[in-house]
């Protein structure tokens, strides 16, 4: 029997090659001033950036723009809001990867809200509830990874010894529109394509096997996983001119945003938030290097649970069969194929292991303290997470 569930609203979606042209339609007659948030590199180097600016100029729309380099911090949000809070901003428009979209999402929410964004962050704030009011916000992803254009939270990071990676969240923060144009992703460099792609895959897999999954999120995650299978490696190898693979990854990433917003995620993201708060390491790289060992360990723990673990093992096995192209009826063999495929992808995409980054052994306990199982299909204790980090 289908258990009761809820599903958060999705943005108005404009999907497909060439859909960036829809921006002109979305900037209606009431929009006189736009705050544009972009990443620091790829989109600004394309002809579409100049075309976009010309469009705004022809429409006599005043626009201000800021660049986001790396994952957005509360300081970036606060300083931007302080600069524009007393000015009229009719719309915030983010064009970039997950960092640019999260920054724009938080800025649009704080332009009409008093105080620092830190006050409203989950887990570290002062417990003040955000009203949900915001400046209208449009998200235009130029990478296929976080699916932030579909979610209701903005992830902000303060990196360092006392760092954190926490969300500003409200149902109203879902973008008013998401313009997903794979043509904007053609210039995404291979290493970024790889890291973002593994993030999208991790989100799809973790939401599919989540304890909060439901038939609706399962259907969306399964659809996205099929496109990951067909598009991930090709987008990495030939993404600069292969619009089909970019389209497949754009769709998969968007599905991952919808499913994570409604089914939650698992141990990989539970650890990644802690690691990302303390160390300046790409979120997609953290996910890409952890998802294989985490899947292997979770499956191993589920196998000890007997009948209680079987529903989740069947899900892992189904994904293993999907990705490997095998019709094997052996659940355990199919789970092995899944772990094997993840390892192959990590190697083909040159995802660096965590040992290549300077993470002192003395900080592992701090990482474990900051990690959680979220909606992992089986609870992992401290020893399990230590084993996972070690592997």
Q: What is the mean pLDDT of residues 255-275?
A: 95
Note the pLDDT tens digit of each residue in 53-103. 998 999 999 999 999 988 899 999 999 999 999 999 999 999 999 999 999
Q: Are strands 153-158 and 164-169 parallel, antiparallel or unpaired?
A: antiparallel
In this prediction the pTM is 0.95
Greatest alpha-carbon span in the chain: 66
Whether residue 43 is predicted with pLDDT greater than 90 in this model: the reply is: no
Q: How confident is the model at residue 134 (pLDDT cuts 50, 70, 90)?
A: very high
Whether residue 46 is predicted with pLDDT greater than 90 in this model: the reply is: no
Q: Which residue has the tokens 């192959």?
A: 344
Say what the pLDDT of residue 278 is.
Answer: 86
Whether residue 338 is predicted with pLDDT greater than 80 in this model: the reply is: yes
Note the pLDDT tens digit of each residue in 316-334. 999 999 999 988 789 999 9
Higher pLDDT, 353 or 349: 349
Residues ≥6 apart with Cβ < 8 Å to 65: 35, 36, 37, 38
DSSP string covering 198-238 = HHHHHHHHHHHT-TT--HHHHHHHHHHHHHHHHHHHHHHHH
Residues ≥6 apart with Cβ < 8 Å to 20: 48, 52, 140, 179, 181, 183, 184
pLDDT above 90 coverage of the chain, percent:
79
What number of residues does the chain have? Answer: 391
Say what the pLDDT of residue 175 is.
Answer: 97
Tell me the C-alpha distance between 318 and 312, whole Å: 10
Note the pLDDT tens digit of each residue in 188-240. 999 999 999 999 999 999 999 999 999 999 999 999 999 999 999 999 999 99
Q: What is the mean pLDDT of residues 137-153?
A: 96
Closest CA to 257 of 3, 5, 13: 13
Whether residue 40 is predicted with pLDDT greater than 80 in this model: the reply is: no
Tell me the C-alpha distance between 277 and 243, whole Å: 34
Q: Are strands 177-180 and 12-15 parallel, antiparallel or unpaired?
A: parallel
The DSSP bridge partners found for residue 12 are: 177
Whether residue 266 is predicted with pLDDT greater than 80 in this model: the reply is: yes
Whether residue 42 is predicted with pLDDT greater than 80 in this model: the reply is: no
pLDDT above 70 coverage of the chain, percent:
100
């Amino acid at each position: 029997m289908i258990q009761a569930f809820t599903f958060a609203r999705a943005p108005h979606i404009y999907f497909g090659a060439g859909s960036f042209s829809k921006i002109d339609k979305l900037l209606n007659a009431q929009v006189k001033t736009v705050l544009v948030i972009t990443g620091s590199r790829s989109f600004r180097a394309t002809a579409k950036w100049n075309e976009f600016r010309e469009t705004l100029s022809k429409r006599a729309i005043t626009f201000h723009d800021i660049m986001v380099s790396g994952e957005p911090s509360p300081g970036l949000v606060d300083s931007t809001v302080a600069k524009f809070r007393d000015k009229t901003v009719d719309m915030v428009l983010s064009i970039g990867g997950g960092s640019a979209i999260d920054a724009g999402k938080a800025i649009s929410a704080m332009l009409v809200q008093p105080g620092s964004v830190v006050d409203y962050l989950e887990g570290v704030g002062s417990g003040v509830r955000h009203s949900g009011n915001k400046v209208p916000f449009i998200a235009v992803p130029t990478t296929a990874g976080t699916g932030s254009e579909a979610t209701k939270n903005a992830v902000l990071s303060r990196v360092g010894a006392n760092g954190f990676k926490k969300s500003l969240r409200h149902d109203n923060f879902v973008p008013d529109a998401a313009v997903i144009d794979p043509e904007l992703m053609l210039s995404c460099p291979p290493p970024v394509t790889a890291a973002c792609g593994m993030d999208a895959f991790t989100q799809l897999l973790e939401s599919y096997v989540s304890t909060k999954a439901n038939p609706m999120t399962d259907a969306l995650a399964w659809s996205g996983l099929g496109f990951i299978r067909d598009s991930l490696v090709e987008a990495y190898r030939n993404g600069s001119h292969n619009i089909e693979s970019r389209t497949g990854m754009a769709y998969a990433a968007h599905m991952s945003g919808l499913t994570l917003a409604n089914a939650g995620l698992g141990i990989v993201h539970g650890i990644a938030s802690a690691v990302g708060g303390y160390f300046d390491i790409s979120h997609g790289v953290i996910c890409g290097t952890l998802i294989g060992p985490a899947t292997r360990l979770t499956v191993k723990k589920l196998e000890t649970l007997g009948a209680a673990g079987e529903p989740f093992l069947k899900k892992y096995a189904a994904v293993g069969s999907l990705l490997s192209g095998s019709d094997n009826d052996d659940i355990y063999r199919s789970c092995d194929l899944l772990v094997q495929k993840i390892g192959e992808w990590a190697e083909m995409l040159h995802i660096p292991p965590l040992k290549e980054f300077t993470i002192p052994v003395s900080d592992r306990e701090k990482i474990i303290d900051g990690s959680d199982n979220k909606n992992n299909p089986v609870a992992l204790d401290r020893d399990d997470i230590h084993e996972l980090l070690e592997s």
